[in-house]
Structure 1
C-alpha cells in the first residue's frame, strides 16, 4: 500500500514536471506562461519599429519663364511694280514711224517693243478686169456707162488695172449686187476679196517696267498705254 502510494506520487511529480516544462505541449497540455516564447516569436519586435518619415512633397517646379515671342518678320520692302504687257494704238503710219525712231535712238532693245501693223478688214468688190492697157479699161468703162452702171478704178496692185462696180463689207452683199448687175446686162463681172494694206500700227510692250512706261508715254502725244 505504501509502495503504491509512493509510485503514484512519483508518477504525479514526473507528470507535473513534464507539464510545467511544456513537454506535454504536443498533446495539448502546456501551462499558461507570461513568457510564451512561441507567441513572442510571432510578435513584431518593438525595437525594430521605426516611424517612417512622411513622404516629402515634390519640390515645387520652378516656373518656366515665358519664352520671348519671336520678333515679327520684318516687312519686305515695297517692291517695284512688276513688269506688265502694255499697248497703245492704233497709231497712223507717221506716228508709228516717229515712235520707232525714238525708241531706237533711246537705246531701247528691240526685244522690249514691237509695232504690229493693223490692216483694215477685208472687203468684197464686184470687179471687172484685169485689162491689158488703159485703152481697154476706158472702152469697158464706156460700155458700163451706157448701162448706167457706176465704176471706180481699182488701185490694189494685184487687181489693177481694173474696175470696181461696188465695194461691200460682206460677201453676201457683194453677191446680191452682182446678181442685180447681171440682170441689167453686165457680163464677166465677179466678186473678189480686196486685201487692204495696213494703214496703222499698234505699239506693244511685252514686259514694260516703270522706266520704260515713262519713256514711252512721252512719245505717244497723250495716247494712253493700256493693258494688253
Structure 2
C-alpha cells in the first residue's frame, strides 16, 4: 500500500511539472502561465521594424527615412549629358617669342583657331650669363677638366650641350645679372679656377607671350599639334 502511495505522488509531481512547464498546453487548450506567449513571437511580421518608445517619446512622421541610392541604377541620360557638358574652358599660353617668331605663331593660330579669340602679352625676359670653361676639343678633355673641378670642395658645375658654339664646355653657374656672374668668377679664381670666363647666353629683351584665354572643344588638341618656333608648346597660363 505504501509503495502505491509513493508511486501516485511521483506521478502527480511529474504531471504538475509537465503542466507548469507548458508541455500539456496543446492537449489541455489552456496555458499554465498566461504571461508566456511564445506563439506571438512566431506570428510577428517584420519584428525588426518595431520601434520601442520611452516615456514621453514620439515619432517624427514628417519626413520619410533617407534611402541610399542603388549604385546599380543608372541616372537618366539627360542628367549624364548635362553633367559632362559643363564649361571646361582652359587658359593656354605659349612663348615667349621674339617679334619674328610671333608673326609665325600668328599665321598658325589664324588657321588652327578661326573662331577662338586669342591675344598677346609683352613680357620682360631677363638676360642669361654663364661662368664658362671651354669649349674643349674632345670628350676626353672635358672629362679631365671635370676631374680637376671635383677636387675643389663645394664647387658645382655642369656640361653645356647647347648652343652649339658652347658645346663641349662646362658651366660653373648661371646668372640673370651680368654683375653677379662677374662676382662669381672672381670668387672662383681665388679658389684656383684660372681659365673660366663670363659669356652671355641670352641678352635681356622684351618678348611676346601668346595666350588663348578660353579654349573651346578640340582647341587643346589642335594647339598641341602646331609646329611652334623653337619648340615652345602651349601650356597652362601662368598668373600675371
| Higher alpha-carbon Rg | 1
Please give the range of the TM-score, normalised by the shorter of the 2 chains: 0.3 to 0.5
User: Please, what TM-score do these two structures have when normalized by structure 2?
Assistant: 0.38
